[in-house]
Each structure stands twice: as C-alpha cells, then as structure tokens.
C-alpha cells in the first residue's frame, strides 16, 4: 500500500471515532435534558394548576361584577 493511502485510512478512522464519540455524548446529554425537563414539569405542575384555578375564579368574579354605565342612574 502506498503511504498516502495509509495516511487517508488513518485520518478516516480517527474522524469516524471522533464522530461516534460526539454522537454518544450528544445522546447522553439528550437523555439528561429529558430527565431534567420531566422533573421540572413535575415540580411546576402543581403551581401551574393552582394559578389556572385562581385565574378561573378571578374571571368568574369579574363576570359577576356589575359595572355602572355612564349616563345611567
């Protein structure tokens, strides 16, 4: 084999290993991000539900208010 072929094969092998390593690291980070997002959702869900209930109650109160119209007595 020629020296250039060996050099190109070595470069291809190193590049392939580097790309595989980056893909594995990317996959690990995606899993970690997914777990973190799920845990954050679990922690925030009760507060979001409470805020939604309070918003509904506030909207009902506003609808029940009688606002005087200008010019009417």
Please compute the mean of the pLDDT values over residues 39-61 and round it to a whole number. 94
Q: Which residue has the higher pLDDT, 70 or 14?
A: 14
Q: Is residue 22 part of a domain?
A: yes
pLDDT at 5 over 80: yes
Angle value at C-alpha 17, between 15 and 22, nearest 5 degrees: 95
Any domain includes 7: yes
- Domain membership flag for residue 61: no
CA 51 to chain centre: 21
Structural domain count, the chain: 1
pLDDT at 34: 97
Band (58; pLDDT cuts 50, 70, 90): very high
Assess if residue 68 is contained within a domain. no
The reply to whether 38 falls in a domain is yes
Residue 1, domain extent: 1-54
pTM, full prediction: 0.57
- Residue 2 inside a domain? The answer is yes
Residue 62 resides in a domain:
no
pLDDT surpassing 60 at residue 73: no
The stretches of 1-73 forming alpha helices (DSSP H) are 3-64
User: Considering only CA atoms, which of 36, 37, 40 is closest in space to residue 48?
Assistant: 40
The verdict on residue 34 lying in a domain is yes
């Amino acid at each position: 084999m020629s020296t250039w072929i060996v050099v190109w094969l070595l470069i291809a092998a190193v590049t392939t290993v580097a790309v595989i390593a980056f893909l594995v690291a990317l996959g690990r980070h995606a899993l970690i991000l997914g777990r973190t997002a799920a845990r954050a959702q679990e922690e925030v869900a009760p507060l979001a539900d409470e805020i939604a209930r309070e918003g509904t109650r506030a909207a009902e109160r506003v609808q029940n208010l009688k606002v005087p119209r200008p010019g009417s007595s």
